[in-house]
Amino acid sequence: MEGRLFRMFDKKHPDADVVEEVDSQLDHPIPLGRSVLLELEDGTSPYKALVLLSVLDHGTSMTTSQRRAVVRGALDHALRLASANGFADVR
């Protein structure tokens, strides 16, 4: 798992074993405009779960309205996943 935000998380929580946990649970790729919720084992991270959103089009030419629709869809899906899994607080 790579990416700027993931590296920032790793830098902020160097003792967290999130990289291995995410890699073991994540089915690649996450479809564009969708999200996945990964529940983390106790002690792995200061968080109970991570929600990963797929919003980068990686080279396809999308209009601004298409990009907004992708982000909107991924955020909507992320919130529905969190709610369906009993998470009432998203930080």
- For 35-54, how does the pLDDT look when each residue is reduced to its tens digit (9 = 90+)? 999 888 887 777 888 888 99
Structural domain count, the chain: 1
**31 within some domain:** yes
What pTM value is reported for the model? 0.76
pLDDT at 20 over 90: no
**38 within some domain:** yes
Residues spanned by the domain of 13 = 4-84
Apex 37 CA angle, 34 and 28, nearest 5? 60
Mean pLDDT of 57-78: 90
pLDDT level of residue 2 (50, 70, 90 thresholds): low
Portion of the chain with pLDDT greater than 70, in percent: 95
**19 within some domain:** yes
**16 within some domain:** yes
- Amino acid, single-letter form, for residue 57: D
Portion of the chain with pLDDT greater than 90, in percent: 32
